[in-house]
């Protein structure tokens, strides 16, 4: 086969964004995707934040098949039989450049792949890349089940475990501490039912996070997002911390328990389960990569470990899309000089540094250490729920002053060594 400009391993958001930007510039690009179509193997909770992406993919996002504009945010702290919910809404979420949409990746990625094809890129599904093609230590293409595909640049976009970034010697394996498992169900409901249950205007949606006793003390939490005519709900659980859970349990049991909680059950009642999926999630924190480039090779998205768990918001998709576009810029520049060596492609890292990706990852580099604190999952939610229970409870005997209940609670929860240590740690987020 003749040498082509760029071959991309993996048709997820990073790979497709890169392909889209390259094809727009008239650069030959081939995306090889293992699944039946782009998106067939991809999972998100999920929601996507549009504003960081606007400079990279301005026209694309206006017509994308997104689900609902998120105008309501909620967080629920789950005690054993009690819970406390914070809900927030703001007109600001409805501004001209919308803030965030719920998204179903199977639909979105498939559509995105078609847009790449419209622009002249090739997206070939059901193809597994088996090896990197190397010459004198440089990457010069890929091998797909025996077929050699020579290319000037190979973009590695093969997701969280990224076997190819490892094969290229750019990173090690994903340690269990930096990985979470996401399990998710999609439940079908009429759009009007969704709007009524969540108190939403047509086309608008809610993002709801849960944490506390639902993960049995493991690092993680629950999520629930309203799509056009479905609800996505599930759990994200830190793998290392889950392995230490006592007594040991299974993730699917936790999901069943989560769905049975009345706080969740009433949202999905009468709905039909239409999809069940699970996926590995890199939790970010300190970067896994020594560098995201090499001779003839760039790494984007989850493969490069571009993801961030900031506690309340978990981000990965914007990082994947934006890093794909930046990789395309670096390839375009390299093509102008005909130099695809590591020193030329290093421009990609310069772009990442100037962008929100590496800056956010730097700002929140310690966030994982803060949010994986087990007390956040097994102590505080129960503690807060117990205080509230006491405040709202009217028993047979005389009632204590509310201020006394609160003060006692605060003393028990925060004014002790463990509590103060946690407060002190929070400054790092």
Span interacting with other proteins, options 29-37, 79-87, 214-222, 410-418, rule CB under 8 A: 29-37
The helix or strand, by DSSP H or E, that contains position 1, with its residue range, turns out to be none
* Cβ atoms of residues 361 and 308 within 8 Å: yes
CB of 4 to other proteins, least distance (A): 9
Q: Is 32 in the site for other proteins (CB under 8 A)?
A: yes
CB of 17 to other proteins, least distance (A): 20
Q: Give me the 308-347 binding string for other proteins, x by CB under 8 A, dash otherwise.
A: ----------------------------------------
Span interacting with other proteins, options 71-79, 139-147, 265-273, 316-324, rule CB under 8 A: 139-147
The 3-state secondary structure of the chain, one letter per residue:
CCCEEEEEECCCHHHHHHHHHHHHCCCCEEEECCCCCCCCCCCCCCEEECCCCCCCCHHHHHCCCCCCEEEEEEEEEECCCCEEEEEEECHHHHCCCCCEEECCHHHHHHHHHHHHHHCCCEEECCCCCCEEEEECCEEEEEEECCEEEEEEEEEECCCCCCHHHHHCCCECCCCHHHEEEEEEEEEECCHHHHHHHHCCCCCEEEEEEEEEHHHCCCCEEEEEEECCCEEEEEEEEEHHHHHCCCCCCCHHHHHHHHHHCHHHHHHHCCCEEEEEEEEEEECECCCCECCCEECCEEECHHHHCCCEECCCCEECHHHHHHHHHHHHHHHHHHHHHCCCCHHHHCHHHHHHHHCHHHHHHHHCCCHHHHHCCCHHHHCHHHHHHHHHHHHHCCCCCCCCCHHHHHHHHHHHHCCCHHHHHHHHHHCCC
CB of 124 to other proteins, least distance (A): 5
Interface pick for other proteins out of 86, 95, 117, 408 (rule CB under 8 A): 117
Q: Is 144 in the site for other proteins (CB under 8 A)?
A: yes
Interface pick for other proteins out of 41, 47, 72, 127 (rule CB under 8 A): 127
CB of 408 to other proteins, least distance (A): 55
CA distances from 103 to 106, 178, 206, 315, 410 (A): 9, 24, 12, 13, 39
Interface pick for other proteins out of 145, 250, 336, 396 (rule CB under 8 A): 145
* Cβ atoms of residues 215 and 54 within 8 Å: no
CB of 23 to other proteins, least distance (A): 13
CB of 16 to other proteins, least distance (A): 16
For the record, the structure tokens of 205 come out as: 């949606």
Angle (nearest 5°) at CA 315 between 313 and 319: 150
**Complex with other proteins: residue 118 or 354, whichever CB lies closer:** 118
Span interacting with other proteins, options 10-18, 117-125, 324-332, 345-353, rule CB under 8 A: 117-125
Q: How big is the site for other proteins, counted in residues (CB under 8 A)? A: 12
Span interacting with other proteins, options 142-150, 186-194, 210-218, 391-399, rule CB under 8 A: 142-150
Contacts (CB under 8 A) with other proteins, residues 205-234: none
**Complex with other proteins: residue 145 or 262, whichever CB lies closer:** 145
Span interacting with other proteins, options 11-19, 62-70, 143-151, 373-381, rule CB under 8 A: 143-151
CB of 149 to other proteins, least distance (A): 6
Interface pick for other proteins out of 58, 94, 124, 353 (rule CB under 8 A): 124
Span interacting with other proteins, options 119-127, 266-274, 321-329, 354-362, rule CB under 8 A: 119-127
**Complex with other proteins: residue 4 or 346, whichever CB lies closer:** 4
Span interacting with other proteins, options 141-149, 207-215, 245-253, 350-358, rule CB under 8 A: 141-149
CB of 122 to other proteins, least distance (A): 5
Q: For residues 375 and 427, what is the distance between their CA atoms, to the nearest angstrom?
A: 16
Contacts (CB under 8 A) with other proteins, residues 400-429: none
Angle (nearest 5°) at CA 87 between 85 and 89: 175
Span interacting with other proteins, options 28-36, 46-54, 197-205, 371-379, rule CB under 8 A: 28-36
Q: Is 149 in the site for other proteins (CB under 8 A)?
A: yes
Binding residues for other proteins (CB under 8 A): 1, 30, 32, 36, 117, 122, 124, 127, 144-145, 147, 149
């Amino acid at each position: 086969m003749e040498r082509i400009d760029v071959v991309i391993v993996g048709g997820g958001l990073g790979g497709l964004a890169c392909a889209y930007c390259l094809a727009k510039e008239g650069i030959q690009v081939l995306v090889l995707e293992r699944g039946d179509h782009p998106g067939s193997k991809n999972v998100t909770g999920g929601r996507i934040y549009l504003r960081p992406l606007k400079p990279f993919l301005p026209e694309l996002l206006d017509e994308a098949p997104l689900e609902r504009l998120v105008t309501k945010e909620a967080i629920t702290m789950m005690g054993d039989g009690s819970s406390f919910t914070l809900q927030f809404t703001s007109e600001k979420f409805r501004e001209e450049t919308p803030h965030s949409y719920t998204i179903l990746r199977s639909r979105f990625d498939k559509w995105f792949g078609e847009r790449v094809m419209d622009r002249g890129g090739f997206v070939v599904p059901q193809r597994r890349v088996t090896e990197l093609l190397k010459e004198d230590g440089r990457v010069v293409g890929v091998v797909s089940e025996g077929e050699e595909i020579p290319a000037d640049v190979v973009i590695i976009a093969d997701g969280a475990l990224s076997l190819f970034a490892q094969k290229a010697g750019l990173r090690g394996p994903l340690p269990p501490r930096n990985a979470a498992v996401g399990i998710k169900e999609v439940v079908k409901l009429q759009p009007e039912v969704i709007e009524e249950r969540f108190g939403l205007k047509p086309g608008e949606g809610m993002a709801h996070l849960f944490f506390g006793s639902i993960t049995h003390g493991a690092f993680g939490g629950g999520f629930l997002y309203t799509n056009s005519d479905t609800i996505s709900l599930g759990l994200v659980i830190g793998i290392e911390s889950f392995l230490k859970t006592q007594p040991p349990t299974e993730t699917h049991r936790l999901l069943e328990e989560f769905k049975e909680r009345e706080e969740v059950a009433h949202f999905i009642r009468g709905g039909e389960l239409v999809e069940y999926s699970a996926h590995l999630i890199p939790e970010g924190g300190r970067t896994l990569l020594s560098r995201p480039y090499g001779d003839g090779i760039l790494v984007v998205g989850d493969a490069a470990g571009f993801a961030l768990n900031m506690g309340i918001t978990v981000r990965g998709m914007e990082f994947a899309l934006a890093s794909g576009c930046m990789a395309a810029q670096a390839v375009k520049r390299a093509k102008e000089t005909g130099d695809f060596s590591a020193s030329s492609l290093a421009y990609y890292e310069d772009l990442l540094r100037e962008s929100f990706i590496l800056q956010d990852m730097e700002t929140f580099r310690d966030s994982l250490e803060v949010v994986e604190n087990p007390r956040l999952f097994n102590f505080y939610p129960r503690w807060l729920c117990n205080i509230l229970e006491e405040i709202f409870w009217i028993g047979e005997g005389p009632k204590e002053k509310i201020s006394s209940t609160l003060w006692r609670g605060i003393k028990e929860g925060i004014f002790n060594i463990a509590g103060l240590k946690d407060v002190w740690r929070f400054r790092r987020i």
